[in-house]
Chain A
């Protein structure tokens, strides 16, 4: 399966890098086994494998060096002589034709060599675990070698932390890749200058690694590899999940993040790129995002922004006006604004919406609320649900601000040609800018008083 393909790729890459001639089997026995399974706590869980069985028996038969070596021998025996199945060929089919999933297996008789089986273990240890229980395999030299380099630190970290639970290689990979792709990462440093996120269960005292947000892993990849990547998304367990090959449009995503960093840096000095990435929360889970067909700008829709967009569920929420300069709403609003601008792919629209928001403030004049009836017009406008309504409600503003008719004309022409799916985004942007203008006005009047 695909895990086997990537396992073989890693061994080839290492041979090239280290000028060695290791076969996949050499690598499995000498390096991979030693690191992953030659310890009381294993780094990887392979459901139903010999290692798994031994691990479950460890209460009765402690996992001593001798036991582990025997298990390895038994596993070698199976790999060399038995027909591969899902219990030791990772990503492979169930053994029996009577299994409920046997209908998914091709009728092409593929000769699966022991080499391929060994490679499938190594490949599965390269999966990057993300929130939502899915793993991502990335066929890229830099990513594969970086993950490989991280394995030994996982073992070291486990040695250092006695209550860390085993088997979390994929979760580790998620943390490692976000860590190793940081700008300030120095492999020669003490590797745990940034500690992995660990959660400790109060009752049992057992610690476990926390899964990374999917968008965090995507941001890390985007930072180092600004080209489209075709990733393989899956999960292996009792039964598997195959999302399949999903393109990650890293270049588009990194542009959004860099722009956001630029904007937020003006707001809060000293904010690092990584900090900005960690502040970003998405609306969609990873599986939902994969349903979009590709992970691009649309997939990283910020959390809760949808509540402010006109939709089928009646009136949308209004943006709160930030209280002061330190208000964390500013950061949320910058995230919203940057994403909407990227989605609309139109800087001019951003400038225009700022100008329109300034006019709307004049019309509604929140400092003398309700006296001129202007705020009603503005409320109506921002509650528009479709193109016609929006243009019509802009037209009603002409009486209030006759001198601004060229701008109203310009905005109406832009709305007229805007794709249908962009209209809710534009309305949300307008509301956002309105809240920002309101905040400016309130701070300036409070100063004047």
Chain B
């Protein structure tokens, strides 16, 4: 049995959203329920830590929220002498009350991380740390309910996007679900 210890920080917030990589022309998109290697690397760089070993994500419910989006580029309307942006409607399935556990390899990293916020894929969805560092074994970490993507290829792995930090190589992983990842903490 492995004696490896994880130093775990728990982050919570009201909303969370992770755009699936395939959502490029959508009128309705659900949030992805796990982190990909590039998301973990982004969070690692933001926190300024050595390594993030594992993650676990759970939430109370998916809430469908309608919003108005704008195009990236302007359309020049020469006659009316103005530039406008095309608008569109998007219904986004957002995670309510997401809970993210991150496992670090050293107490120093975990202490550093426990004093900072993180966000998933929208920077307005801030998740705040509990401020406590939990020390636990890998087995104990495996009991935390939620979703996790175990990185790497394998027979049940799926392709989850391209890694901007690794020369846009395809990323693969196996989705793992522990316990009841959704709605275990009922909304008040």
Q: Which residues of A are interface residues toward B (Cβ below 8 A)?
A: 1-2, 5, 86, 91-94, 96-106, 108-110, 139, 227-230, 232, 234, 239-245, 247, 249, 290-294, 420-421
| Residue B102 is within 8 A (CB to CB) of chain A in the complex | no
Q: Is B126 an interface residue (CB 8 A)?
A: no
Taking a contact as CB atoms closer than 8 A, the residue among B20, B26, B162 that contacts A101 in the complex is B26
Contact of A97 among B21, B26, B73, B160 (CB under 8 A): B73
Which of B22, B31, B75, B182 has the most chain A CB within a 10 Å cutoff?
Answer: B22
Out of A98, A230, A240, name the residue touching B156 (CB < 8 Å): A230
Q: With A242-B29, A245-B32, A291-B62 as given contacts, are A1 and B147 in contact (CB-CB < 8 Å)?
A: no
Would you call A293 and B181 a contact (CB within 8 A)?
A: yes
Partner of B25 from the list A94, A106, A291 (CB cut-off 8 Å) is A94
Question: Counting CB contacts under 8 A, is B12 at the interface?
Answer: no
B66: interface (CB < 8 Å): no
Assembly CA distance A242 to B26 (angstroms): 7
**Is the CB–CB distance between A104 and B159 below 8 Å?**
no
CB proximity of B21 to chain A, nearest CB, Å: 7
Q: How far is the CA of A243 from the CA of B28 in the complex (A)?
A: 8
Please indicate which of the listed interface residues B74, B90, B158, B182 has the most CB atoms of chain A within 10 Å of its own CB.
B158
Is B61's CB under 8 angstroms from A239's CB?
no
Do the beta carbons of B162 and A108 come within 8 Å of each other? Answer: yes
- Given the known A-B contacts A102-B71, A291-B62, A293-B147, are A244 and B20 also in contact in the complex, defined by CB atoms under 8 Å? yes
Closest to A86 in B: B25
Q: Which one of A94, A249, A291 lies within 8 Å of B61 (CB-CB)?
A: A291
Interface residues of B (CB under 8 A from A): 19-34, 59, 61-62, 69-75, 85-88, 90, 93, 147, 156, 158-160, 162, 164, 168, 170, 174-175, 177, 181-183, 186
A291 to B23, CA, bound (A): 17
Please, which residues of chain B bring their CB within 8 A of the CB of A110?
Answer: 162, 168
Contacts A104-B19, A110-B168: A93 and B62 contacting too (C-beta < 8 A)?
no
Which of these, A5, A108, A240, contacts B26 with CB under 8 Å? A240
The answer to whether B168 touches A108 (Cβ under 8 A) is yes
- In the assembly, what is the distance between CA of A1 and CA of B20, in Å? 11
Question: Are A244 and B73 touching (Cβ within 8 A)?
Answer: no
Complex Cα distance, B20 from A241, in Å, reads 11
Smallest Cβ distance from B78 to chain A, in angstroms? Answer: 14
Are B23 and A104 in contact, with the CB atoms below 8 A? yes
Whole-angstrom CA separation of A346 from B38 in the bound complex: 41
In the complex where A108-B168, A230-B156, A245-B175 touch, is A99 in contact with B23 (Cβ < 8 A)?
A: no
Structural contact, A293 and B88, CB atoms closer than 8 A = no
Contacts of B19 in A (CB 8 A): 104
> What is the bound-complex CA distance between A25 and B47, given in angstroms?
45
Nearest 4 CB-CB pairings of A with B: A100-B88, A97-B73, A293-B182, A239-B27
Taken together as a complex, chains A and B put the C-alpha atoms of A229 and B155 apart, in Å, by 11
- Tell me, in angstroms, the Cα distance from A102 to B28 when the chains sit together: 14
Chain B residues near A5 (CB-CB < 8 A): 159, 170
Residues of the A chain whose Cβ atoms lie less than 8 Å from the Cβ of B28: 241-242
B124 to chain A, nearest CB (A): 15
Determine the distance from Cα of A104 to Cα of B170 in the docked complex, in whole angstroms: 19
30 interchain pairs (CB within 8 A)? A2-B22, A86-B25, A92-B25, A98-B72, A98-B85, A99-B71, A100-B69, A100-B71, A101-B26, A102-B71, A104-B24, A104-B26, A105-B24, A106-B21, A109-B168, A110-B162, A230-B156, A239-B26, A240-B27, A241-B27, A241-B28, A242-B22, A242-B23, A242-B28, A243-B93, A245-B33, A245-B175, A291-B93, A292-B182, A294-B177
B34 contacts across to A, CB distance below 8 A: 245
B181 contact from A91, A244, A294, A421, Cβ within 8 A: A294
Q: Which residue of A lies closest to B19 (CB)?
A: A104
Report yes or no: A98 in contact with B26, Cβ–Cβ below 8 A. Answer: no
Q: Are B73 and A232 in contact (CB under 8 A)?
A: no
Asked whether A247 lies within 8 Å of B175 as measured between CB atoms, the reply is yes
Q: Across the interface, which residues of B come within 8 angstroms of A247, CB to CB?
A: 175, 177
Residues on B with C-beta less than 8 A from A420 are 186
* Distance between B101 CB and nearest chain A CB, rounded to angstroms: 16
Distance, CA A5 to CA B23, complexed state (A)? 15
A103: contacting residue among B31, B69, B93, B162, CB under 8 A: B69
Does the CB pair A102–B73 fall under 8 Å? yes
- Asked if A98 contacts B86 (CB within 8 A), the reply is yes
How many angstroms between the C-alpha atoms of A290 and B29 in the bound complex? Answer: 12
Query: A83 → chain B, closest Cβ, in Å?
Result: 14
Of all chain B residues, which has the CB nearest A102? B72
Residues of A within 8 A of B162 (CB): 106, 108, 110
Q: By the criterion CB–CB under 8 Å, are B147 and A108 in contact?
A: no
Q: Measured between alpha carbons, how far is A144 from B93 in the docked complex, in Å?
A: 29
Interchain CB contact under 8 A, B73 and A101? no
**The one of A101, A139, A240, A291 that contacts B69, using a Cβ cutoff of 8 Å:** A101
